Amino acid sequence: MSAVNASLIHAIPLSSQVINLCAAIMLLLGFAMLAQRRVLTLINLFMLQGLVLFISTLIVALTTSQSHLLWSAGLTLLLKVIALPLILHRLIRRLSVKWDIETLLNIPTIMLIGIALVVIAFNVAQPISQLSGTITRATIGIALACVLLAFLMMITRSKAVPQVIAFLAMENGLFFAATSATYGMPMVVELGIALDVMVGMVILGVFFFQIRQQFDSLDIRHMERNKEQ
């Protein structure tokens, strides 16, 4: 990634460099979330990721003067930096899992798999970057890597709240990919996604309570026996 930045650094203006920096931070946060055990810290990391996403979208919006991206940026700020972390904080307080530590097996292995995923993501994103004409095209690979890392996180977690955070992080990555590849999706789609995320959050919140009532725990491994015999 630094190699990418180094080769482009002469040609690209400051705004692009800031965007690339944001992308790098996004990826870093993705790795941090992958390895983070504490639920509370996880939420804070998620909030940070949202913030970085907001900044990068704002810069893209300002430099390319795409007015609808401004709206997207505002939406990101409102939803992912303020609303969702607030809801999550309240949720873990009411579920009293604030200081929970998840027993993650073998963090180094997961990190290694994550690195492999980043390599794959860059490899896959290369032809897309060449096709794309946006100033942010160099970051498509990173966006894709963020999506894959979040997915990996979803697989490796066994508690409900971290899984939901992983799901939201995946949405972050998708949003970032959309901004970097085509300056964002149409406004309608973005609004729809934002609504989906909100509704999903509410439903999952309800589910948390149900799961805990049923199993006295938020560990979704308990749900294994729900399968059809």
Compute the distance between CA of residue 202 and CA of residue 15 in angstroms, rounded to an integer.
37
Q: Which is nearer to another protein, 151 or 215 (CB)?
A: 151
CB 39 within 8 A of CB 154: no
Residue from 77, 88, 91, 152 in contact with another protein (CB under 8 A): 152
Binding flag, residue 225, another protein (CB under 8 A): yes
Inter-residue contact 80 to 198 (CB < 8 Å): no
Nearer to another protein, 73 or 147 (CB): 147
Mapped to the 3 state alphabet, what secondary structure does 27-38 carry?
Answer: HHHHHHHHHCCE
223 binds another protein (CB under 8 A): yes
Write the CA distances from 126 to 22, 26, 53, 212, integer angstroms: 19, 19, 22, 44
CA torsion 24→169→152→146, rounded to 10°? Answer: -30
Residues 100-129 as x/- pattern, contact with another protein by CB under 8 A:
-----------------x--x--xx-xx--
Instruction: Select 216 or 224, whichever has its Cβ closest to another protein.
Output: 224
Is 221 one of the binding residues for another protein (CB under 8 A)? yes
Q: Quick check: 158 binds another protein (CB under 8 A)? A: yes
- Site residues (vs another protein, CB under 8 A): 117, 120, 123-124, 126-127, 144, 148, 151-152, 154-158, 163, 220-221, 223-228
